[in-house]
Structure 1
Amino acid sequence: MKQRQRNYITEATRRTIFDSLRVGKWFWAGRLDDAEFLSRIFDLASLPSSDSRHADMSGDVWRHRLINPEDWPDDWVFSDDRLDLMHGPDETFLKFLCEMVHPVVRDEADVDDMVASFNRYLASDGYRLAVGETMSGRRIFIAELALAGADGALADARRIADALSSSHVAAQITRMRANIVPDASLAIGSSKEFVESLCKGILDARRVPRTGKEDFPGLVSLTREALSLKVNPKSDATLRSMLGALGTITNSIAELRGQVGTGHGGAPETSAPPAGVARLAVNVAVALGVFLWETHEASADNHDSA
């Protein structure tokens, strides 16, 4: 029997959110019909029918919610075992919440109240909905682990992307943040790419030649040298320890990406890393990238004022 993965969002939290929707003014599918909404998350044609007249779940929804809407109550979706929103993976449950406030589904006027309500209940389980990107000026929400300090670090990272005028780096930041929960491997792979891009930007700004064949640790080491961040006997113990840790962090990100991140074909039995591991990799990568960039900026400013 397949082992069910561990969920961090409890049944109590899920029931509370569903109960709030039952008694509130927001219909879960928004302006869409049931089938249109659910098809954004599930492949209804691959789920079984509970009605012998149909081959799959898409036929059930068509008959009992579109043709005969009185057959099933509006809240049927919360307890249907095929969708398993009450006990299924956190990623699916969170995707369901995010889709409820997607611009295609919901009027902007209701979004703030809905997100605030969801986040109030999700907080006890360590998750929240946050803006991941915009579409035609409308916010698209993602689910993320709610850890202290994350917003400030990501804001610093986006400032660097702006300084580089790099849509590529901005896209990496979006991928890191947006995929921590739904695709931890992609988030880990993107965190390594983010540091690589910043190192290349620093080296190019300082006109330091690159062969283009440097591996990740080598690229970070070359950047450290360009910034005069070298471990040497003259450094005090604290600085020497910190700079030595940069090498350890670099190697760890590279190894983690190789083991469970995107970019290398993993073994068939490789399991997806937990979202917490992805969050750690993203936070470490952002901290390292911001440190290197701010060191670059500070030394460039000092050089200009000399």
Structure 2
Amino acid sequence: MRQSYDDMFDEPLDRSQRISQVTRRDIFDYLRTGGAPWWGRMSEVAFLSRLYDLDQLPSTDSRYRTAGRDIIQHRENNYDWDDDWVFTDSRFKLASGPDEILLGFLSQMVHPVVQPDVERAASIVSELNRLLAPDGWMLKEHKQISGRPVYAPSRISDAAGLALTFAHDAAVRIDAEYISQQVTRMEGAVDSDPELAIGTAKEFVESICKTILDERQEAYTKKDDVPSLVRKTTKVLQLTPDDVAETARAADTVKRMLMNLATLVQGLAELRNAYGTGHGRSKAQVKRRLTPRHARLAVGSAATLGVFLYETHEMRERPSAPSQRPGE
């Protein structure tokens, strides 16, 4: 007989686990509500067969010998198991097994064969990464199939990864899918496509600034680059020396630090363009291609800058909602 949802979390953790029971519970709650169906476009048997040998796992129904037959009986013939049955089934070790089992399951959930909608997959990855980050894990793009990202587990071990953790939190609060996608794209591309990561870092800062300016009914134009948008944003947030009390002498330092981050992100994006991002690279240009270390610098700076600005925006009193976007 399968254990209940709550009982599964009373089992001792496998010694190889870093993903806590708290995180696992949060992940399962998300998949039961916003992330379902976990099997995507496949049947449940077909999905689980990508991860487990269902002919070797036993049945919990005395009428059958294998887990495969068990699942067919209770999920296809009778449908008398709930959609989240696999999370509470000890045979699949999602609640109390090694991290690699849970991470493999989550990676398969967003595989292009299972989840063909690229935007939906990116949204799921964004939320899963937010939940996994406190335990040092994330899903990141490591290759593509037919132009679609394939995600794999990766440890968060650098400053850029830590900054992205907070960027995911901010993206959730902003509740804009395109910003969540930008964060996920930055994560996945740092190692596999540094130039994409750098370009997306620039877009992320632009999106954060424009979101703040829109909500505060401040105008901007299509010609505004990253430094210009950051200047307008810091001004409307009263982070510049002219807009705060003279006693706040640190304001000038804060402004200078933020502008340095903005200039760094803009500069790396311009450097990427100077090296060329495609068509007809020369041999010399290929040798000068930007590397993951450049991408980590851009992504870490962009995430740090964007999160600081948005959190400041959240803390400051806002005007009433605008009737239309000032930037349009």
Normalising by the residue count of structure 1, what TM-score does the alignment of the two structures yield?
Answer: 0.51
Q: Does the Cα contact within 8 Å between 1:186 and 1:262 map onto a contact in 2?
A: no
Q: Is the 2:160–2:300 Cα contact (8 Å) retained in structure 1?
A: no
SS in 1 for 2:223: coil
Say yes or no: does 1:296 pair with 2:313: yes
Task: Quote the offset at 1:183 in angstroms.
Answer: 0.8
Superposition deviation, residue 201 in structure 1 = 0.4
Q: Report the CA distance shift for 1:129/1:295 in structure 2 as closer, same or farther (over 3 A).
A: closer
What's 1:107 paired with? 51
* 1:272 alignment counterpart: 289
User: How far does the alpha carbon of each residue in 1:194-224 deviate from its partner, in whole angstroms, 9 at most, with x for none?
Assistant: 1100100000001112222212211111111
The structural deviation recorded for 1:147 is 1.6
Counterpart residue type for residue 141 of structure 1? A
1:210 paired residue among 212, 217, 220: 220
CA distance in 2, matches of 1:188, 1:242: 24
Change (3 A) 1:213 1:264: farther
Residue 194 in 1 paired to residue 204 in 2? yes
Aligned counterpart for 1:283 among listed residues 293, 300, 310: 300
> 2:232 corresponds to which letter in structure 1?
L
CA distance in 1, matches of 2:306, 2:232: 14
Map of 1:182 onto structure 2: 192
Helix, strand or coil: the match of 2:191?
coil
Offset of 1:113 from its aligned partner?
4.3
Q: Distance in 1 between matches of 2:221 and 2:200?
A: 22
SS of equivalent residue, structure 2 residue 317: helix
Question: Which stretches in structure 1 are left out of the alignment for 5+ residues?
Answer: 1-102, 119-127, 134-138
1:132 to 134, 140, 153: 140
The answer as to whether partners of 2:161 and 2:187 remain within 8 angstroms in 1 is no
2:274 & 2:203 partners in 1: Cα distance? 10
Q: Deviations over 1:234-271 (max 9, x none)?
A: 36443312211211221111011111269965763332
Show the 5 A alignment for 1:8-23: none
Corresponding letter in the other structure for 2:140: G
Offset at residue 143 of structure 1 (A): 4.4
Shift in CA distance, 184/167, structure 1 to aligned 2, threshold 3 Å:
same
After TM superposition, the structure 1 = structure 2 runs for residues 53-92 of structure 1, keeping only pairs within 5 Å, are none
RMSD of Structure 2 on Structure 1 (CA): 3.5
Q: Distance in 2 between matches of 1:294 and 1:156?
A: 10
CA distance 1:142–1:257, change in 2 (3 Å): farther
Please tell me whether the aligned partners of residues 176 and 282 of structure 1 are also in contact (alpha carbons under 8 angstroms).
Answer: yes
Alignment-mate amino acid for residue 239 of structure 1: A
- What is the aligned length? 185
* 1:154 Cα deviation from its structure 2 partner: 2.4
Shift of 1:181: 0.7
CA distance in 2, matches of 1:288, 1:201: 14
- CA distance in 2 between partners of 1:286 and 1:249 (Å): 10
Q: Secondary structure, in 3 states, of the residue corresponding to 1:180?
A: helix
Match of 1:234 in 2: 246
> What is the Cα deviation at residue 114 of structure 1?
7.7
Provide, for residues 119-165 of structure 1, a one-character-per-residue CA deviation record: whole Å limited to 9, x for no partner. xxxxxxxxx973238xxxxx9325466225834x3232122222222
Matches within 5 A, 1:219-258: 219-232=229-242, 234=246, 236-258=248-270
Quick check: 1:188–1:261 contact (8 Å CA) kept in 2? no
Counterpart AA for 1:168: Y
